[in-house]
Chains A and B, each alone.
Chain A
Amino acid sequence: MARSPLLSRRATLLGLTAAATLGKVSLALAAAPTEQRFVVVILRGALDGMAAVVPYGDRDLVGLRGGLVPKRPGEADGLLDLGGFYGLHPALPGLHLMYQAGELLPVHAVSNGTGTRSHFVAQDRLELGSLHEGITSGWLNRVASLLAQPEHGEAALAVGPALPLLLRGPAPVGTWMPPGGAHGDASFYAELAAMHAGDPATGPAIALALQERGFSAAALAGMAPLPNQGAFPSLCAAAGRLLAAPAGPRLAALEVGGWDTHARQMQRLPPVLKTLDEGLSALKDGLGPVWQQTAVLVVTEFGRTVRINGTQGTDHGTASVAFVLGGNVAGGRVAATWPGLAATKLFENRDLQPTTDLRAVAKGLLAQHLGLGAPALEAVFPDSAMATPMRGLLRA
């Protein structure tokens, strides 16, 4: 099995910590190194940031992608207004409540670095925090190794069927697996069905079995929304409860897919946004009072094209949106240097131009929320001096 040289070294490092990553998270009573909680949610597949946080005030928007823009705020099923220029997609009512409570801060036109439109490469960069040859651990794992380690259990927890690259590395990490085994996102099964559609032996059988699992024929044909197959909301609820425990973990990572909306985005995206919205609301509920000590960072590997493609979807782009949320987040506003959508402003005449480095957002949170100083930030994100930590993410 071929692996890239960069990754094979990581695999050996992982071998050293494999024992520490097995088993359930420890809830042993031990003095915690910090009372702050920090959660990273990875949206795999590239969220269309302009569909989630719609710059409806930009006069070029409708001309570029009118078919993807919901109705204006105030209309039935319209956008949920974020202060007159941006609006949240109507499938995100829970996030809108947090926004209104001043606990949600969308950061727009963020980028994880340009130069690739490959999911795999961009997700590696998102999770490793760098594409330097020498970097083989995930950046959240490096954060974990900087925190004082608890006497028992692990400081960091992966919630879900996989241990993401983000959390892999020398620091011990707990894993919490959902009962019932691994499942893919609905979009994975739709892709699988498409791959088998032309096969007389397996195609009809797989389509039928997916219908028994709640996928309508119309959904498999892309003509209706996919069912909510993700366990994401229940994983978020579990993560919230585990993080709320006094001696529980302080860092956690979750992931949710379904964002790669190359076709029929108006049908495919809303249920995925709804899943995200329900999940983040469940996370807040699960944390209870600890929500006040929690910061959540929601990130994706890149954005999507500004224009609609030939199949009513969008292709791989550049800048997208990130979300910062939590009880002490200085939210109720959108943080962005909006680049504009005029033809001359687009990145390579197709994508939203990035104006904020995602690492600046992450570093700002690590500094303000976890108290990491400049040397620690440099250790977490090497060679990121140009990405100055974003200020004012938390209330003083």
Chain B
Amino acid sequence: MDAHPLHAMIRFGLGRRGTEPLPADARAWLRAQLQDPDPALAAPISSTLAALEAHRLDREMRPMEGQTVREELLRRADTAIAMRILAETDSPFRERLVWLWANHFTVSVHNGGVRALVLPYVQEAIRPHVTGRFADMLHAVIRHPAMLWYLDNQESAGPDSPAGLRAHRGLNENLARECLELHTIGAAAGYTQADVTEFAKVLTGWSVDMGTASPGFAFMPERHQPGPKTIMGMTFPEGEAGGDAVLTWLGNHPLTFRRVAERLVRHFVADRPAPADVKRIADVLHETHGNLRAAVLALLDLPGAWQPLTKLRSPADFVVASVRALDLPEQDRPEMAGLMSHFGQPLLSAPLPNGWPDTAADWADGEMLLRRADWAIGIAGKHPTIDPQALAAASLGDLLGDANRLAIQRAASRRDAVALALAAPEFQRR
């Protein structure tokens, strides 16, 4: 199984696209994908500025009844681009990292003003950093308007700030708490409520200025709580620099590295990461000052990385893998984001800030798996010329068990056979 090419394409990629060539050296193929630059950085996803302008226009000039708001048009166009990248990319390993970190730093389209910002957020705050330093991604995420709005920091004001004293406005600690608990050191780190409050004070003034020609992140001193703050015994200065200092500290904290390592191992290797594996990746992060490329490449050397696949493809993974396996021209592809919703994982819409879960049990709901099979029947019916045995052989190869290969070969119709290939247990694995 060591460095089996299809195994690599499934565990670390998005599934094989049609009959694209199998890499001769799977490790080299994966390593090459993490060389800069990321080709998808040039994708024509809207800028954060354009999304904020659309948001402002929608608020200033409310669309007439029946008209689609600008933000929604922008979101749809960006979604189509993001789905095309997933369906067609030659750097699927990198895409997996982009969506892994987008989920780690969850924002949701269901949070009012954030709707049009989610894909620009992924493109500008997440994507450039997936092979860079974790702390740099943390900085980019926390000052992005999508996160500031999603976790309610834009109105937070220090009680002793000019705005706080004038208008009796106060702290909102949501962003500070989730940044500690979810994004970095984790609840087990032993911080107190006082530490959360102090961090919230540090972040006062980190907001979004919609009143300028170029709306975007702004540090608003009149909301900032004056004076130094102390978090877990560390003291940070007043001003925007204080927040940057906290993020640098948190982003390089050994406990953060441990949680990053655990997330990487759980996502790519096993639902229950082996402590030795987590320690190995955390050590790499420590040695490289949080270099995510080095950490991810170290995953390839974990023994578990080449053991049989035990994780389940999430609904989003399944949609992407199916579209890639079928390799249909774009006009014949299903509406991918809609399918992700139908199978239980609407794009960038996790219900809570902790994002979508990442273990097999979380995606093993029977009715949701049956929906995959129902859909497979439909798409197979639309494309009666697909050769089911070739589809199974190309996408699963010898990862498909003999009994199930025979079941596909013996299915009562080409349509049933194609659907069984996509709904087979082996196709649900990654």
B34 within 8 A of A: no
Contact with B along A237-261 (1 / 0, CB 8 A): 0000000000000000000011110
Q: Are B375 and A195 in contact (CB under 8 A)?
A: no
Q: Which of B18, B366, B423 contacts A1 (CB 8 A)?
A: B18
B195 within 8 A of A: no
Q: Are B413 and A44 in contact (CB under 8 A)?
A: yes
Given contacts A184-B374, A188-B416, A260-B412, contact A1 B367 (CB under 8 A): no
B215 within 8 A of A: no
B288 within 8 A of A: no
Given contacts A1-B390, A257-B416, contact A182 B370 (CB under 8 A): no
B260 within 8 A of A: no
Q: Which residues of chain B in 4-23 are interfacial with respect to chain A, using CB atoms and an 8 Å cutoff?
A: 18-19
B360 within 8 A of A: yes
Q: Which of A160, A187, A205 contacts B364 (CB 8 A)?
A: A205
A350 within 8 A of B: no
Kindly count the residue-residue contacts between A and B in the assembled complex, taking CB atoms under 8 Å apart.
Answer: 150
Q: Are A257 and B412 in contact (CB under 8 A)?
A: yes
Q: Which A residues touch B175, using CB under 8 A?
A: none
Q: Which A residues touch B390, using CB under 8 A?
A: 1-3
B127 within 8 A of A: no
A196 within 8 A of B: yes
B268 to chain A, nearest CB (A): 17
Given contacts A182-B374, A195-B407, contact A119 B366 (CB under 8 A): no
Q: Which residues of chain A in 171-185 are interfacial with respect to chain B, using CB atoms and an 8 Å cutoff?
A: 181-185
Q: Which of A2, A10, A213 contacts B394 (CB 8 A)?
A: A2
| Distance, CA A46 to CA B325, complexed state (A) | 29
Q: Which A residues touch B410, using CB under 8 A?
A: 119, 260, 262
A209 within 8 A of B: yes
Q: Which A residues touch B382, using CB under 8 A?
A: 162-163
Given contacts A1-B18, A10-B385, contact A161 B378 (CB under 8 A): yes
Given contacts A184-B373, A199-B425, A202-B312, contact A162 B381 (CB under 8 A): yes
B113 to chain A, nearest CB (A): 34
B111 to chain A, nearest CB (A): 30
A330 within 8 A of B: no
Given contacts A2-B387, A123-B413, A257-B413, contact A188 B367 (CB under 8 A): no
A146 to chain B, nearest CB (A): 23
Q: Are B327 and A1 in contact (CB under 8 A)?
A: yes
Q: Which B residues touch A119, using CB under 8 A?
A: 410-414
Q: Are B369 and A181 in contact (CB under 8 A)?
A: no
A201 within 8 A of B: yes
Range, interface on chain B: 35 or more
B419 within 8 A of A: yes
| Distance, CA A202 to CA B423, complexed state (A) | 11
B32 to chain A, nearest CB (A): 25
B365 within 8 A of A: yes
Q: Which of B369, B388, B423 contacts A205 (CB 8 A)?
A: B369
Q: Binding site of B, secondary structure by majority: helix, strand, loop or mixed?
A: helix
B236 to chain A, nearest CB (A): 46
Q: Which of A1, A182, A262 contacts B326 (CB 8 A)?
A: A1
B384 within 8 A of A: yes
A206 within 8 A of B: yes
Q: Which of A120, A189, A202 contacts B428 (CB 8 A)?
A: A202
Given contacts A123-B413, A162-B384, contact A184 B377 (CB under 8 A): yes
Q: Which residues of chain A in 339-393 are interfacial with respect to chain B, using CB atoms and an 8 Å cutoff?
A: none
Q: Which B residues touch A205, using CB under 8 A?
A: 364-366, 369
B52 within 8 A of A: no
| Distance, CA A207 to CA B369, complexed state (A) | 11
Most buried by A among B366, B380, B394: B366
A135 within 8 A of B: no
A208, closest chain B residue (CB): B366
Q: Are A44 and B384 in contact (CB under 8 A)?
A: no
Q: Are A3 and B387 in contact (CB under 8 A)?
A: yes
Most buried by A among B326, B380, B410: B410
Closest 6 pairs between A and B when the two form their complex, measured CB to CB: A162-B381, A209-B366, A182-B378, A45-B412, A2-B390, A205-B366
Pairs A–B under 8 Å by Cβ, sample size 12: A3-B390, A7-B385, A182-B375, A182-B381, A183-B377, A184-B373, A189-B370, A196-B425, A201-B364, A202-B366, A210-B366, A212-B366
Which residues of B are in contact with A by a Cβ distance under 8 Å? 18-19, 310, 312, 325-328, 360-361, 364-367, 369-370, 373-375, 377-378, 380-382, 384-388, 390-391, 394, 403-404, 407, 410-417, 419-420, 423-425, 428
Which residues of A are in contact with B by a Cβ distance under 8 Å? 1-4, 7-8, 10-11, 44-46, 119-120, 123, 160-165, 168, 181-185, 187-189, 191-192, 194-196, 198-199, 201-210, 212-213, 257-260, 262
